[in-house]
Amino acid sequence: MKSFARTAIIVLILTLIPFITYGQGIEFKNPIKANNIQQLVALILDIVVKIGAVIAVFMFIITGFLFVTAQGNPSKIETAKRSLVGTSIGAVILLGAEVLSQVVQNTVNKF
């Protein structure tokens, strides 16, 4: 049975080679709206920032709950403080991602 499957795949590939090689009747359309690497990075960054913003909001809410549920317990308050610092640093990096992207693009374009 493995031999038949292997043979079928080889026949399929050999049948498609003329279409792939010469492009007879096959037209490839770009599914991504980016025409170069800079546009692709910008699109990916836009998606990451949108998803990251939602995650940051949820993390701030969770951090708030950590502070509320700490009830004066020093170890839980310390955990909540670390969560607040980490979430704040992540949010600042997320907000600065567009600026960092522009700096990198301008640096690469100079070369």
- pLDDT for 51-64, tens place per residue? 999 999 999 999 99
Q: Which residue has the tokens 């038949």?
A: 4
SS3 27: coil
pLDDT exceeds cutoff 60 at 105: yes
| Buried b or exposed e, range 69-102, using 16+ CB within 10 angstroms | ebeeeeeeeeebeebbeebeeebeebeeeeeebe
Q: Give pLDDT, residue 19.
A: 61
Q: Residue 81: which pLDDT band, with cuts at 50, 70 and 90?
A: very high
Q: Give pLDDT, residue 38.
A: 76
- The domain spans of the chain are 31-110
> What pTM value is reported for the model?
0.62
Q: Give pLDDT, residue 40.
A: 82
pLDDT exceeds cutoff 90 at 82: yes
Q: Give pLDDT, residue 60.
A: 96
